[in-house]
Amino acid sequence: MNNEREKKQMLGEYLNNGCSIREEGQFQLAIEKFQEAFTLAEELNDEKQVTNVNIGLGSAYRLNNQIRTAIQHYENALEIAIERGYKLEETKARLGLGKVHRKNNQIQTAGEHYEKALEIAIEREYKPEETKARLGLGKVHRKNNQIQTAGQHYEKALEIAIEREYKPEETKARLGLGKVHRKNKQIQKAIQHYEKALEIAIEREYKLEETKARLGLGKVHRKNKQIQKAIQHYEKALEIAIERGHKLEETKARLGLGKVHRKNKQIQKAIQHYEKALEIAMEREYKLEETKARLGLGKVHRKNKQIQKAIQHYEKALEIAIERGHKLEETKARLGLGKVHRKNNQIQTAGQHYEKALEIAIEREYKLKEINARLGLGYAYRLSNQIPKAIQHYEKALEIAIEREYKREETKARVGLGKVYRKNKQIQKAVQHYEKALEIAREQGYKGLARDVIEKLSRLKDTGSIKISSTSNDAQRQDETVDNVEQADIRNQSMNVDRIASAVGLLNLGHSYQREDGNEEAKSSKEAQNLLRLPTQ
């Protein structure tokens, strides 16, 4: 009798130790403690504790990224719980299965388990489990791009957590709402939730949640062009993740730093972070993060004109994304491949990737990616001289960009339309789009985009496709003007964007007016020279 009592006591200790060690991030040691508890539970023929130990093992294996083993333990727990009518344990097992299936990108299966867990939790008034089920459903609906439904679950979870003072769940609900508001471009609301989550996490020493809050703040500040703030949060997140051995969060922090350094044109630093993220992701089999690291490396190598390296990373990212059903990443990989094949003058191959990216983007309602795919197709059709198709894609891209307030993409769509309308001799329409693009470039400070337009104008000039004057002397003068614009831009990288954008606009207007009034064209070119302080030819 005493022996049985001692075994029960030891079983409880092993279970508690397993849970504590798991929370500290020592997953392998936690697994060992749970396995010792499992042996005792079976010896005692205590089916409820066998169920609880299976749930503990499922959690430890899940956190150790041993997904199949985790599923087996959760399913064993679920089977016993249903058979014996252990409703609380059934709810916990379903919550665990929701997590592992979500990690495995089996979103529908995850959703089914979370829904059933929520149903039991509401019926039995298991408030902690209801909160967790709603957090899980928030994640599932967010993954499915059902942002409004996700927000509703996070809001309800937050309400219960605040009322019941469930601080870990409040933190998680705020992290989820931060993501939802970020997706909805409600940046201030996103920042408020992330900062409140960070405050609780620091106060309560929830190191994992602190890391996640900092990753979220890194993203919103990056999107808000507050690069220094973004770097500070990413670097602090990285520091905690390395110290605590949180490999997934380390990978995410490095991906974020890769992005901000890429945006900051610190290409070597970006590559270092992306490559380290890729190394960890491959070692730990974080397939989604491997895909993201390869997408990042594809971008930096493309920008660095290392086209073959870029293609290799994009193609590997595409392969994983298709295999895992990661639709957003597949879309991004195809957009990247469209760009590199376009750069490589493989217009047909580029078009195929853009078409597939567009198909997925429309189906999944990835509005920004739809715009990017349409911009790519507009470019491809313009080069192929299929003007009506090019116009259709640019105009649809413009419509979405205006509706969603994507200013950069609106500018690109207008520049594209300016080019196709000019090519189609619809001069007035070309002028209207160039003028509007110029206005946005001034307002938003898109210096890089303005430079890109100058480069493209120079290319068009080089091919002889722009005939901007009726006399050979005037034509030579205008060619020299475009050369001077490009050379001045190279000499002065910090040139004021208003002057660059104005010069671009005036050059474009000059090209467009040339058939209507040669004097107006010459005047525009002279004004462009003056704006850039170039000598008159």
How much of the chain, in percent, has pLDDT values that exceed 70? 83
Q: Is the pLDDT of residue 217 over 50?
A: yes
Q: Of residues 224 and 301, which shows the higher confidence score?
A: 301
Domain regions of the chain by residue span: 405-463
Cα(first)–Cα(last) distance of the chain, in Å? 105
pLDDT, residue 442, reads 84
Report the C-alpha gap between 118 and 131 in whole angstroms: 8
Q: Which long-range contacts (CB under 8 A, 24 or more apart) does 490-493 make?
A: none
Q: Which whole number is the average pLDDT over 301-318?
A: 96
pLDDT, residue 248, reads 94
pLDDT, residue 438, reads 86
Q: Is the pLDDT of residue 186 over 70?
A: yes
Indicate the pLDDT class of residue 288, thresholds 50, 70 and 90: very high
Q: Of residues 464 and 295, which shows the higher confidence score?
A: 295
pLDDT, residue 225, reads 86
HEC profile for 160-211? HHHHHCCHHHHHHHHHHHHHHHHHCCCHHHHHHHHHHHHHHHHHHCCHHHHH
Q: How far is CA 408 from CA 342, 486, 498, in A?
A: 20, 22, 15
Q: Which whole number is the average pLDDT over 471-483?
A: 39
Q: Is the pLDDT of residue 104 over 50?
A: yes
How much of the chain, in percent, has pLDDT values that exceed 90? 72
Q: Is the pLDDT of residue 161 over 70?
A: yes
Q: Are 127 and 89 in contact (CB under 8 A)?
A: no
pLDDT, residue 82, reads 98
pLDDT, residue 484, reads 42
Q: How far is CA 374 from CA 395, 398, 417, in A?
A: 9, 9, 12
pLDDT, residue 453, reads 60
Q: Of residues 228 and 434, which shows the higher confidence score?
A: 228
Q: Are 84 and 48 in contact (CB under 8 A)?
A: yes
Indicate the pLDDT class of residue 530, thresholds 50, 70 and 90: very low
Closest CA to 500 of 478, 479, 480, 485: 485
Q: Is the pLDDT of residue 517 over 70?
A: no
Tell me if residue 517 falls in helix, strand or coil: coil
Report the C-alpha gap between 219 and 157 in whole angstroms: 23
Q: Are 310 and 262 in contact (CB under 8 A)?
A: no
pLDDT, residue 113, reads 98
Q: Are 181 and 193 in contact (CB under 8 A)?
A: yes
pLDDT, residue 525, reads 44
Q: Is the pLDDT of residue 257 over 60?
A: yes
Q: Which whole number is the average pLDDT over 442-461?
A: 65
pLDDT, residue 23, reads 83
Q: Is the pLDDT of residue 256 over 60?
A: yes
pLDDT tens digits, one per residue of 258-273: 999 999 999 999 999 9
Indicate the pLDDT class of residue 507, thresholds 50, 70 and 90: low
Indicate the pLDDT class of residue 478, thresholds 50, 70 and 90: very low
- Report how many helices (DSSP H) and strands (DSSP E) the chain contains, helices first: 26, 0
Tell me if residue 519 falls in helix, strand or coil: helix
Q: Is the pLDDT of residue 344 over 70?
A: yes
Q: Of residues 226 and 463, which shows the higher confidence score?
A: 226
Average pLDDT, the chain: 87
Indicate the pLDDT class of residue 236, thresholds 50, 70 and 90: very high
Alpha helices in 44-166 (DSSP H): 47-63, 67-84, 87-103, 107-124, 127-143, 147-164
Closest CA to 510 of 479, 537, 533: 479
pLDDT, residue 441, reads 87
HEC profile for 344-399? CCCHHHHHHHHHHHHHHHHHHCCHHHHHHHHHHHHHHHHHCCCHHHHHHHHHHHHH
Q: Of residues 6 and 84, which shows the higher confidence score?
A: 84
Indicate the pLDDT class of residue 450, thresholds 50, 70 and 90: low
Q: Is the pLDDT of residue 439 over 90?
A: no
Q: Is the pLDDT of residue 505 over 70?
A: no
Q: Are 328 and 357 in contact (CB under 8 A)?
A: no
Q: Is the pLDDT of residue 456 over 90?
A: no
